[in-house]
Amino acid sequence: MVIGVCRIALAIDNAYSLKEKRHIIKSIIERLRSRFNASVAEVDMNDKWQRALIGVACVSNEAGHADSMMASIVNFVENDGRAVMLDYSTETIYVD
């Protein structure tokens, strides 16, 4: 079993309140869940108006599939347009 994990740091320059930020982040999270069938959550910077940290995880039987899925998710978020990707990191965890 292979677990793919990704942390994505975002800047949301058009958000001027926590309500606006949460609306954008919730939409991005739901689109990722439905499109990629991955576990997604806002994991940090919950009280920052214009910053967010999203965590993504997927389980696969092949490392190549998990890596490909994480790359597709990063690409999707980068091209979304509502938020600017500041940084991201991925990790592959092998479980016997």
Beta-sheet pairing, 2-11 with 51-60: antiparallel
Question: In which band, very low, low, confident or very high, does the pLDDT at 96 lie, cut at 50, 70 and 90?
Answer: confident
Q: Is the Cβ–Cβ distance between 49 and 24 less than 8 Å?
A: no
pLDDT of residue 33: 94
Task: Assign residue 46 the CATH number of its domain.
Answer: 3.30.70.1120
pLDDT averaged over the chain? Answer: 92
The total of structural domains in the chain comes to 1
Beta-carbon contacts of 38 under 8 Å, excluding residues fewer than 6 positions away, are 32, 56, 57, 58, 69, 73
- Where in the sequence is the domain holding 28, given as residue range(s)? 2-94
Residue 24 has pLDDT above 90, yes or no: yes
pLDDT of residue 39: 95
Which carries the bigger pLDDT value, residue 46 or residue 3? 3
Residue 28 has pLDDT above 90, yes or no: yes
pLDDT of residue 59: 94
